[in-house]
Structure 1
Amino acid sequence: MKGNVAMEIDLIFKIAGTGIIVAVLNLVLKRAEREEQAMMTTLAGLVVVLMLLVDQIGTLFERVKSVFGL
């Protein structure tokens, strides 16, 4: 159980770190009047976070299926 909790906290830190990096890059690019690159950076950050969550979402669906016997 402890390993699972550590893994979840690690995932939260990865998502938070990605969000901070994307926010800083977005701010810098907007100040440099590079709106298109700022938007692409935001979308890339979203894709990275979704890739981190894919395994967790799959685990959630498996647990829901097992609870309801599907």
Structure 2
Amino acid sequence: MGVGLIFKIAAVGILVTILSQVLKHSGREEHAFLISLAGLILVLTWILPYIYDLFIMVQDLFQF
């Protein structure tokens, strides 16, 4: 896992937070929720391969 991935996740978090706050203050709570959900799904798609590799390593570690 590179440092670049952590910076991308942080950038998405900051962007989603700003957009959500702007949308909530303009009275569009539904859109703010969808933006937050889209950010979560985006970050999960980036992290999913690393989680899969972790499970494979743990499985190989305990395999006899």
Structural RMSD (CA): 1.2
Deviation of 1:29 (Å): 0.2
In 1: Cα distance, 2:57 partner to 2:2 partner: 16
String of CA shifts for 1:22-52, please: whole Å, max 9, x gaps: 0000011011110000000000000001000
Question: How many residues are treated as equivalent by the alignment?
Answer: 64
Identity score, percent: 45
Determine the C-alpha separation between the residues in 2 that align with 1:46 and 1:56: 16
2:33 to 36, 39, 55: 39
Per the alignment, residue 22 of structure 2 pairs with: 28
Residue 52 (1) aligns with residue 46 (2): yes
- The TM-score normalised by the length of structure 1 is 0.85
